Chain A
Amino acid sequence: QKEVEQDPGPLSVPEGAIVSLNCTYSNSAFQYFMWYRQYSRKGPELLMYTYSSGNKEDGRFTAQVDKSSKYISLFIRDSQPSDSATYLCAASNDYKLSFGAGTTVTVRA
C-alpha cells in the first residue's frame, strides 16, 4: 500500500466551479505537505506547501491539512480552463517526497 493515496479521477467541472481534491496518508511522521500541478508532458509545478496541520490560502487556491485524520485537501475557487491539469499531493518528514497518484482535472469552458 502506498503511503499517500489519491483518487486518480478524472474530475470534470464547469468553469467557475469549486474544485475539491483530496488525499489520505498513512505515515504519521509526515509533517510537510505539498500540492503540485502538472500539465501534460511538463514537470510538476509546486502550487502549495503546508507545514503540519492548518490552512493556507494563495489566491484562488486553499490547502488544508488535518493530521488527526491524515487528510490533505486542495480547493480551487472560480476554476478556469487553464486549471485543467493533473494535481499531485505529496508529503514528507524529510527530503523524500511521497506522492499520490495524481488527479486529472478538466475545467469545461
Chain B
Amino acid sequence: NAGVTQTPKFQVLKTGQSMTLQCAQDMNHEYMSWYRQDPGMGLRLIHYSVGAGITDQGEVPNGYNVSRSTTEDFPLRLLSAAPSQTSVYFCASSYEGDGYTFGSGTRLTVV
C-alpha cells in the first residue's frame, strides 16, 4: 500500500545511546519532514527536506541529525539520547506542499 512507513513502532533507549528512526515513502514526494508530538504541545518540526541532498532545520533540531540520499528515505538520527527526547515521532511527506501524508509514528522512551 502506498504511504509513509516508519520503523520501529516502539523503542526504548538508555540515556546516551544512539539510534536511527527510519522513514520511507513510495509516492515520489519531494517534501519530507520529521515532527515530534508531546502532550499539550501539538506537533513540532524537527527537520525537513525539499528533495534528495537538501535538508534544513525546523523548530526543535537540537540532538537530531538527518540526511536524504534518496527521494524515498529520510532517516532521523538521535546521536546521544536524552530523557527529554522521549516522545512520539512522526514522519510526513508531500508532493505539491498540500495534503501531507503522515506515518503511523514511532513511540520512543529514553530511560
To the question of whether A and B form a pair in one complex, the answer is no
